Amino acid sequence: MHRTARLGVGVIGAGRVGPVLGAALAGAGHALVGITAGSEQERVEAVLPGAPVLDTLEVARRSELVVIAVPHDQLAGLVSGLAEVGAWQSGQLVLHTDPAHGLDVLRPAAAGGAIPLAVHPAITFTGTSIDLRALPHAYAGVTAPGPVLPIAQALAVEMGFEPVVIDDSQRAAYAEAIATATEFSRSIVQQSAGLLAQAGVAEPGRFLSSLIHSTVDDALQAAGGPSET
């Protein structure tokens, strides 16, 4: 698969996802230009010790690859706001990690000459360095214009993921699948744990662990997916 050249990487978003992906890209040989921190300075320092902390505008202006890992409701405003101040540059790679958005949300950046990429890591992040060990066992939903799709796939691989191409027109269905898997699973576990607690089980989470893992493995095998056992 096409390998990306060494890039100057900037990360916008210091929640659970951004610092981990920044660390993964740095581990693949890219240079970390900077990351926004806000109130998450402690998390950034734990996952990316010594990383330059910059404001959003400086990250966008200085980076050849900008990774945007912000909450769903902030993404569109951030991209368009940076476009209004002329932050996006011709040939710059702009990658967001939101499952629901495809390429359209990056249109303001593309209008400035940037190359839009959507790479969603299909994993629940803890926001710690533990995640780096989990990345090679996870997939990423990748959407990009045809000519640069190999670049998006290569970046996913360099971060540790197995890339799966999602057509831009299917991002809504993809997002629904991701939300169903995560939200429903979390809700069912919480409901079951609550019932066990009412029944007098002291540690319902530990009690459910083997049962849920074995049940999920069985369901994945039935769906044609890999088992973790």
Residue 31 Cα to chain centre, angstroms:
19
**Side chain identity at residue 183, one-letter code:** E
Amino acid 229: pLDDT: 41
Q: 71 near 38, Cβ under 8 Å?
A: no
Q: Which residues of the chain have pLDDT under 70?
A: 1-4, 225-229
- The tokens describing 202, both together, are 């002291």
Interstrand relation of 162-165 and 139-143 (parallel, antiparallel or unpaired): parallel
Amino acid 185: pLDDT: 79
Tokens 């400035």 belong to 112
Amino acid 168: pLDDT: 97
- The tokens describing 2, both together, are 């096409």
57 SS3 class: helix
- pTM for this one? 0.86
- Alpha-helical (H) ranges within the chain are 18-27, 41-47, 56-62, 72-84, 107-111, 130-134, 149-159, 171-179, 185-198, 204-222
Buried b (16+ CB within 10 A) or exposed e, 33-65: bbbbbeebeebbeebbeebebbebebbbbbbbb
Amino acid 3: pLDDT: 60
Amino acid 228: pLDDT: 47
Q: What is the DSSP letter of 225?
A: P
